[in-house]
Structure 1
Amino acid sequence: MAVIFRSVTPEYLLALATEFYVQSHDFNGLPVRALEMEPDDLRVLLRPLVEAGSLYVNYGDRHPNPHILAFEPESREQQLEKLATNDLASACLYPTIGHLESVVDRDTYRGRPYSLELALGYPALGYHFFDLSILESYRNDPRYYYSFDISGRISIHDEHFGQSTMPERDQVLLESFGLALQKDDGWGVVVFRRYLSSLSPEHQQIWKAKQEDDREKFVPHPDYWRSSILGDWHEKLSLFRAFLEEMEQINALAQHIGRPPLFRNVYSENWPNDFGYLIRPTGRELANFAGVLDKMLSDNINRDFFQNEVPYEDERTDRHNRIVVTQRGTIRILDEWIKAKVRCENPELIEHAIKTLKDVRKKRNPNAHTIRPDEYNVALFKEQVKLMRDAYRALVTLRQILQLHPAARDYVVPDVLENQEVWEI
C-alpha cells in the first residue's frame, strides 16, 4: 500500500524506514515507490540522513535484488554522488548499523546471534567462517539430508519433518554453505548470514560456538563465491564431482563399445555421506573416507565387463592333493585385462592407476589387525586430497583406455572432462 505524504521531515522518513526494516519478514528495505513522492523532493530529505550515516539508499546496482541489503554500503562520498544522479524508482531505503544500534531491542533476539546481526543492519550476504567439525552431527545423523562439496546443504528428510522422531528445535534447514580455504593448511566452512539466521535459536548458538574469529585465516572457495554472489557458472569441477562424472563416462563408453558397465553403480545423484572433504583431520576419518572410496572403486567393479577374457579364479593343489579354487580380486582382474587388451604409449599411467586402487584398499582399514589410538594431524587434509586426486586420475586413465577402442572413435567426451578442468583441492 502506498504511503502518501504532504509534509514530511527527514526524521520521520528515517523512523518509517526503520519500522519497515525491523518488522519485515526478511529485514527488507522500504521501497521508494511506496512513498509516492517526487524524486527531487525525496532527494532533499534523504541527503541529510545519508550525510549523517543514518540511512542508506540501495539502488539494486550492486546486487539485483534491492529489497535485501546484500553488501556493506559504499563510502559516504559514493552514496552522496549516487543520490545526486541515480534513478530512485526501484531503490529501497535502509537504516544503517549506526542508527539501528540505538533503537533495536537486543532482548528480542536473545539466543539468535545471527538474527540479531541482521536486525542491526549487517548485510545479508555477509558471511562467517566455521570449524569443519560443526558439520559432524548433521552428517552422522540419518534424519538429515547432508551434502558437502564446494557447496553444501543440510535439511530434514521428509519422513522426519514435523514428526515426533525429532524435536522442533532440530528441524533445521541450512539452504547453502560452502568450502572455505585456509591460507596455510586444511579448510573450513563459510555460511552467509541470511542462511544462519534461519536456524533455530539452539542451532544458531551451536554454530556460534564453532565460529572462527580469525577471518584473515580463510577465504571462500572461488567457485562458491562465483556461483553464490556473482550468479556465474562454476569455473571448474571439484575433484569429487569430476570423479563421479568420469565414472558415468566410463560406463557410457563401455555401453558404446558393446560391453556391460565397468562399474555396477554410479553415485552422481546419491553421494555417500563420507564421500567428501574430511570434517576432522583424524586417522579414523581418513580410513572411513578410504573405505567409501574403495567401495566405489574396487568393490564396485563389474566382472561381467571383462566377458571372461581373463581368468576370474586361481587353482592350486594343497598338500593333500586337493584342488583349491580361489576368486581373483577385481583389481587383479582389471590389471590383467588391461595388459592383455591394451597397448598404451604411456604404460606408467596404467601402473599409476592400478597402484592407486591398491593404495585406496590399503588405507581403508589400517587398524584391521591391531588396536591403535586415533591420530589428529592437519597433514591428513593434504593426504586426503592427494588420495582423491590420484583416484580421479586413475578414472581418467580408465576412460582414456576405453576411448582407444575402435568402436569409440565417434564417442564425444564433454570438454570439461576431456580438458580436465578440475580444481586440485
Structure 2
Amino acid sequence: MDSSVSDLKNIEKLVFYFFCDSSDFNGIPLRQVSQDLNLDYEESIDLIKELVKSGIVSIQSSTNPHIIGFKHHPVQSQLEILEDAKSIKVVKQSFGKLEIEMEQTEYPICLYPTPEYTKENRDVDKYGYAKYSVELAQSEPQLSFRFFETDILERYSNEPRFDFEFQDFSGQISCKYDEEGNPILREEDQIFLKSFGLGFDSSGARVVAALLCDLGKLSSEHQVAWGAKEIPSTECKVLDDYYNNLILGQWITSKSVFTALIDEINAIYKLTESIFGVPLFHKELDGEHRPKNFTFFFSPTSKNYYDFINLLDKYLSENINKSFFEGSLELEELIPIRDNMVERVQKGTLRLLEEWVSQSFRFPDDSFPKKMLKPLKDVRRERQKPAHKVIENDYDPKFIDKQKKIMEACYISIGSLRRNLQTHPKAKSVELNTHLDDEKVKYF
C-alpha cells in the first residue's frame, strides 16, 4: 500500500477513535496527529486537507476548538485555515521545573469526524433512546440550539421535587436534595438543565430554546420527553437577548414586563414608606425568584392563565396596605339595606386607592384616577370568573395575548402612579433606580 494512502487511513482512524473515546465529544489537536503518527507536521496538514475534501474530517479553529461549537465550516474555509496553520510555531515556556510546549496562535485547531462519517461508521447503540446524546456522538455542534413547545416545562414546574429557576428570558432546572444532600428523586430524574431560554417560531409564538450540549446531559428518559416536544429548528429563532448573554457573554440591557412591574411596585413601596411613614403595599416583591406563570414561559392553557391572574391580583390589589389610608380616608361606608337600616361595610383596597389618588393629585380630567386604575380592577374581575363557574382547562393561544395585554396595562398603570408620587417634595430624597423610565421593557 502506498505510504500516503496508509497515512491517510491512519489519520482517519486516529481522528475518529479520539472523538469516540472522548466522554465530552472532544476533537484531537492538529499537532498531536503528526506527533502520534510520527509524521512531518506540514506533510500531515496536506494529508488532513485531503480528508477534509473527502468529507471525512472537519476542523474547528477558535479560542476553544476542543468542542464542535456552532457549526461545521465550509470546506474551502477549512482548507485555508489548515494551510495557514503550517506557519504556526511552537515555543517552550517554563513554570518552575515544569516546561510546556505551546503553539503561538490565538486560534488553535482540533479535528473531528464529519457528521456524515460518524453516522455511517459510529455505533451509537450504547446511547439507546437518548436522542441528543446520539446527535452529539454524531458530530453535531454542541452550541447549536434545539426548540420545544412551552408545555415541556410543565413536567418540571408541576413537580415540587424539581428546582425551577426563572429569569427574564431564561431559566434552569435541577432536582432537589434532602437535608443530608441526597437527591429526593429516582436516578432517572436526577437531572440538571443548565439553561433554557426564550425563542419564537415562524408565527411569532413563544418556544423554549436549549443548547444541544445541555440536552445531551439529561437522562435518557428525559431526552425522550424533550424529543417528543421538539420543533424543527428551521422554523425557529432564539431571542437576541438570550443569545447575546449566553453565547456572547454580553450584559442584558432590557427587561421583561414582569420584572418592570415588580420594579415599579417596589419603587412605590419605597416612595410611600419614605414620604408617609407607611408603605402603600404590604411588602416588596422578590424579582429574582418568581413562579413560572409570572414569566414568558407560559403555556397557553386556561389553568395557567387564571393562575397568572390570581398571582397578579395578589401582587396588586391584595398587596395594598389599608393602614396606608388611615387618617386620610374613611375605611368604611354605610350601605342602606332595608327599613331605614344601614350596614357598615369595609371599602375595598382598589376603591380606597382610587379615592386617595383623586384627593392627592391634580389631574386635568376628573376621570383620570378611574382610568388609571382600571387595569387593576380588570384583574380583580378576571380573577373572580373561576369562582363563579367551572372552567375547563383548555389550550388556546389567545391566553398569551390576554396575558400580554393585561400585563402591559398594569405596568403602565402602576408606572403612572409611581411617577405621580415622585412629584411629592419629599420624593427627592428617595433613592430609586434612575432608569425606571428609560429601560427597554419587552412584552412579547
The whole-number CA distance in structure 2 between the counterparts of 1:182 and 1:143 is 30
The amino acid of 1:325's aligned partner reads: R
Which one of the candidate residues 383, 389, 398 is aligned to 1:370? 389
Aligned: 1:251 with 2:250 = no
- Partner of residue 81, structure 1: 80
Unaligned runs of at least 5 residues, structure 2: 1-5, 89-102
Question: Is the contact between residue 273 and residue 280 of structure 2 (CA under 8 Å) also seen in structure 1?
Answer: no
Offset at residue 120 of structure 1 (A): 0.1
The whole-number CA distance in structure 2 between the counterparts of 1:233 and 1:161 is 36
**Structure 2 CA distance for partners of 1:58 and 1:290, relative to 1, 3 Å:** same
Question: What secondary structure sits across from 2:178 in the alignment?
Answer: helix
The whole-number CA distance in structure 1 between the counterparts of 2:276 and 2:111 is 64
**Structure 2 CA distance for partners of 1:350 and 1:67, relative to 1, 3 Å:** farther
- Partner of residue 129, structure 1: 147
The amino acid of 2:119's aligned partner reads: E
- Partner of residue 24, structure 2: 26
Most deviating of 16-25 and 340-349: 340-349
Question: Is the contact between residue 173 and residue 193 of structure 2 (CA under 8 Å) also seen in structure 1?
Answer: yes
- Partner of residue 287, structure 1: 306
The whole-number CA distance in structure 1 between the counterparts of 2:365 and 2:71 is 54
Aligned: 1:333 with 2:335 = no
Q: Tell me the C-alpha RMSD between the 2 structures.
A: 2.6
Q: TM-score, normalised by structure 2?
A: 0.85
Q: TM-score, normalised by structure 1?
A: 0.89
The amino acid of 1:45's aligned partner reads: L
Which one of the candidate residues 414, 417, 426 is aligned to 1:407? 426
Percent identity for Structure 1 against Structure 2: 33
The whole-number CA distance in structure 2 between the counterparts of 1:76 and 1:160 is 54
The whole-number CA distance in structure 2 between the counterparts of 1:104 and 1:166 is 33
Question: What secondary structure sits across from 1:27 in the alignment?
Answer: coil
Offset at residue 243 of structure 1 (A): 1.8
Aligned: 1:47 with 2:49 = yes
Offset at residue 353 of structure 1 (A): 3.4
The amino acid of 1:380's aligned partner reads: F
Which one of the candidate residues 242, 247, 258 is aligned to 1:224? 242
Question: Is the contact between residue 186 and residue 382 of structure 1 (CA under 8 Å) also seen in structure 2?
Answer: no
- Partner of residue 5, structure 1: none
The whole-number CA distance in structure 2 between the counterparts of 1:159 and 1:326 is 48
Q: Relative to total residues, which structure has the larger strand share, 1 or 2?
A: 2
Offset at residue 255 of structure 1 (A): 3.7
Offset at residue 308 of structure 1 (A): 3.0
Question: What secondary structure sits across from 1:102 in the alignment?
Answer: helix
Offset at residue 165 of structure 1 (A): 4.2
The whole-number CA distance in structure 1 between the counterparts of 2:65 and 2:256 is 32
The whole-number CA distance in structure 1 between the counterparts of 2:407 and 2:57 is 50
Offset at residue 127 of structure 1 (A): 1.6
Aligned: 1:145 with 2:144 = no
The whole-number CA distance in structure 2 between the counterparts of 1:234 and 1:126 is 21
Offset at residue 39 of structure 1 (A): 5.1
The amino acid of 1:252's aligned partner reads: K
The whole-number CA distance in structure 2 between the counterparts of 1:219 and 1:292 is 30
Offset at residue 348 of structure 1 (A): 7.0
Question: Is the contact between residue 153 and residue 176 of structure 1 (CA under 8 Å) also seen in structure 2?
Answer: yes
Offset at residue 291 of structure 1 (A): 0.6
Question: What secondary structure sits across from 1:190 in the alignment?
Answer: strand
The whole-number CA distance in structure 1 between the counterparts of 2:82 and 2:367 is 65
Question: Is the contact between residue 130 and residue 212 of structure 1 (CA under 8 Å) also seen in structure 2?
Answer: yes
For 1:330-409, list aligned pairs within 5 A. 330-344=349-363, 350-409=369-428
Question: What secondary structure sits across from 2:221 in the alignment?
Answer: helix
The whole-number CA distance in structure 1 between the counterparts of 2:381 and 2:64 is 52
The amino acid of 1:187's aligned partner reads: R
Aligned: 1:186 with 2:184 = no
The amino acid of 1:92's aligned partner reads: C
Question: Is the contact between residue 298 and residue 400 of structure 2 (CA under 8 Å) also seen in structure 1?
Answer: no
Question: What secondary structure sits across from 2:442 in the alignment?
Answer: coil
Most deviating of 257-266 and 354-363: 257-266
- Partner of residue 293, structure 2: 274
Question: What secondary structure sits across from 1:366 in the alignment?
Answer: helix
Offset at residue 46 of structure 1 (A): 2.1
- CA displacement 1:24-59 (0-9 Å, x = unmatched): 222112234545757534422321122222222222
Which one of the candidate residues 319, 330, 348 is aligned to 1:300? 319
Offset at residue 419 of structure 1 (A): 0.8
Which one of the candidate residues 6, 11, 25 is aligned to 1:13? 11
- CA displacement 1:337-364 (0-9 Å, x = unmatched): 1111112468776444310101111112
- Partner of residue 230, structure 2: 211
The whole-number CA distance in structure 2 between the counterparts of 1:340 and 1:249 is 21
Aligned: 1:107 with 2:125 = yes
The whole-number CA distance in structure 1 between the counterparts of 2:148 and 2:377 is 35
The amino acid of 2:173's aligned partner reads: I
The whole-number CA distance in structure 2 between the counterparts of 1:201 and 1:343 is 63
Most deviating of 406-415 and 307-316: 406-415
